[in-house]
Each structure stands twice: as C-alpha cells, then as structure tokens.
C-alpha cells in the first residue's frame, strides 16, 4: 500500500496544475487573439485581455474566408462535417460486419483473412497513401465526396476491437438464437448490436475526431476550393511570402474548427467512457 504523504500530495497537485496550465495557456492565447483586431494581435507584447472583435472576425471568415482562401469558412466546416460523419458511419458499418463474419461464420482461411487485415496496421500511412491516391485518380473520384471518404472507411483497428468484444460474448447466446430459429442477421441486429452500443459510442467519438482532423488526405484529393475542409483550410489562410496573415481571423477559424469534435465528446462522454471500460474487460 502506498503511504499517503502530504508532501507527495502537494507535489502531485502542483505538477497537475503546471500540466493543465501548459495545455490551456496556448488555447487561451488563441481565444484572446480571436477577439482582437489584427493590429492588436501584432502589438508587442500582445494583450491577454479579450477584446470586442470576436463576432466580427467570426462573421468575416464564415462569409468570406481570409488570406489566400476566399472560400467561406462555413462551407469548409460543412465539408468537414460530411467527411467526418461519412467516414465514421462507414468505418463502424464495415468494421462491425467484418468482425461479426470473422467470429460467427465458419469459412476457409477465416483466420488468415483476419490477420491480413490486422497486418495493415503495420504499414505506415506514407506507404499506403500514394497508391490509394493513384487508385482514386484512376476511378475518377478526385474532387468528390466519395473520393474524400470511401478510402478511409476501412479500419483494421476497429475490426480488431469488435472482434475482441464479440469473442467475449457467451456461446450460449448463439445457441439460444439457433434454437429459436433466428437467422444470422436477426441474431446480429437483436442481440449482438444492442450489446455493442457502448463500444459503438466509443468508436464513434474516436472515429469522428479522426475524420474531422484529416489534413493530408484532403490536401491530396481535393483541388476544388468549394470542397475544401476546415483543417486544411486553416493552413490556406496563412499568407505566404510577404503577405500579411490575419491572425485574428485564423484564430477565430481555429475556434470554430474545435467546436464540432468538442460537442461530440461532451454529448457522448458517458457512453465513450463506458465503452472504453467495457473494451478493457
């Protein structure tokens, strides 16, 4: 048993406070910068007191964009939402059905197929991404929502997690379903799927954030500015060469980009934590 010492408690809380401050201070600076005009941002030192230009900055980027990007940032947020939601629903659907087939169906080379899927985790993104871009180009799916989302719907990690969870379900459930004359898909929808809801919620949160934060893939696939995403769009707002970057509006765009993942985490926090706990059992 660890001895409860006052000095150790004080040190632990101090380290925790320092860590929280190190994480939150840059975020606070970004929030303050989003409330200032660009001249105030470039003052040395920049004030740490919030200004009065937040709604003006948000309105400007929402309607007109900024810097090298003239695409309305509201459109970029919509594209990011479509991409993240499609990737999330696609990953969950493909992964849970794949894991269900691997665990509950008997067919030749079943284990080999699973380990082939699992081995894709060993391949770096850089190895896979350019062949994938070439395939998308040959299928004429560049500059499209399908090209933006379909290649990212397969997930070895999600398949592995669902497989591990399904293997913990008692065999008696399957036997009882067979005795009742339930078909494989009825067993899936009536028994397996309801038991997987916490895992689904946890995977939904993780996958939505993964899809929302995509930067390299949209950069390679999309050249049409009307299909640009928010994360890649922020980079395009930063002026190159001798151009002046409107950092107040860039920070405002960053705040808008943070909101959807934050809302997803807050709304599904209870299910997310429960799903992570269940997956460790």
> What is the C-alpha to C-alpha distance for residues 206 and 264, in angstroms, rounded to an integer?
10
Give the domains, in start order, of the chain with CATH numbers.
Answer: 73-280 (1.10.3720.10)
C-alpha angle 125-130-135 in degrees, rounded to nearest 5: 120
Instruction: Identify whether the C-beta of residue 273 lies closer than 8 Å to the C-beta of residue 198.
Output: no
> What is the C-alpha to C-alpha distance for residues 236 and 54, in angstroms, rounded to an integer?
21
Given this model, what pLDDT does residue 1 score? 46
Q: 91's torsion region: left (phi>0), alpha (psi -120 to 50) or beta? A: alpha
Q: Which residues of 181-200 are buried (b: 16+ CB within 10 A; e: fewer)?
A: ebeeeebbeebbeeebebbb
Q: Whose CA is closest to 269, among 205, 209, 207, 208?
A: 205
Given this model, what pLDDT does residue 108 score? 79
Residue 43, C-beta contacts closer than 8 angstroms, at least 6 positions apart: none
Given this model, what pLDDT does residue 280 score? 52
Given this model, what pLDDT does residue 89 score? 94
| This prediction's pTM | 0.84
Given this model, what pLDDT does residue 241 score? 65
Which pair of tokens denotes residue 278? Answer: 């269940």
Which residues of the chain are under the pLDDT cut of 70? 1-4, 66-69, 241-243, 272, 274-281
Which pair of tokens denotes residue 45? Answer: 């030192």
3-state secondary structure of 66: strand
Q: Residue 127: exposed, middle, or buried by beta-carbon count in 10 A (0-12, 13-18, 19+)? A: exposed
Neighbours of 16 (CB within 10 A): 10
Residue 73, C-beta contacts closer than 8 angstroms, at least 6 positions apart: 61, 62, 65, 66, 230, 233, 253, 256
Give the helix ranges, DSSP H, for the chain.
6-34, 38-41, 54-64, 73-104, 110-119, 125-138, 145-149, 156-166, 171-179, 184-187, 193-195, 197-212, 216-221, 230-236, 247-267, 269-280
Sequence length of the chain is: 281
Q: Whose CA is closest to 93, among 209, 200, 206, 211?
A: 200
**Measured between alpha carbons, how far is residue 57 from residues 95, 147, 245 in Å?**
41, 32, 13
> What is the C-alpha to C-alpha distance for residues 190 and 186, in angstroms, rounded to an integer?
6
> What is the C-alpha to C-alpha distance for residues 99 and 68, in angstroms, rounded to an integer?
45
Q: Which residues of 244-271 are buried (b: 16+ CB within 10 A; e: fewer)?
A: ebbbbbbbbbbbbbeebbeebeeebeeb
Given this model, what pLDDT does residue 77 score? 92
Given this model, what pLDDT does residue 268 score? 83
């Amino acid at each position: 048993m660890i001895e409860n010492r006052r000095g150790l408690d004080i040190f632990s809380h101090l380290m925790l406070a320092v860590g929280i401050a190190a994480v939150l201070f840059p975020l606070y600076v970004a929030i303050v910068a989003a409330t200032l005009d660009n001249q105030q941002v470039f003052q040395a030192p920049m004030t740490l007191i919030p200004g009065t230009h937040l709604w003006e900055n948000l309105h400007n980027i929402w309607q007109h964009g900024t810097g090298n990007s003239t695409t309305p940032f509201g459109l970029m947020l919509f594209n990011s939402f479509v991409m993240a939601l499609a990737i999330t629903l696609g990953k969950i659907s493909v992964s849970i059905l794949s894991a269900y087939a691997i665990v509950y169906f008997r067919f030749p080379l079943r284990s080999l197929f699973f380990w082939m899927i699992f081995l894709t985790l060993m391949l770096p993104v850089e190895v896979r991404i350019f062949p994938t871009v070439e395939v998308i180009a040959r299928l004429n799916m560049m500059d499209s929502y399908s090209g933006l989302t379909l290649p990212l719907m397969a997930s070895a990690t999600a398949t592995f997690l669902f497989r591990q969870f399904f293997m913990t379900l008692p065999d008696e459930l399957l036997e009882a379903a067979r005795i009742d004359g339930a078909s494989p898909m009825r067993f899936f929808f009536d028994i397996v799927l309801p038991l997987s809801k916490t895992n689904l919620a946890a995977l939904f949160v993780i996958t939505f954030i993964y899809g929302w934060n995509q930067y390299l893939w949209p950069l390679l696939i999309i050249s049409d500015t009307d299909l640009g995403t928010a994360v890649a769009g922020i980079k395009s707002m930063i002026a190159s060469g001798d151009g002046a970057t409107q950092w107040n509006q860039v920070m405002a765009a960053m705040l808008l980009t943070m909101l959807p993942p934050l809302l997803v985490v807050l709304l599904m926090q209870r299910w997310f934590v429960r799903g992570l706990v269940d997956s460790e059992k």
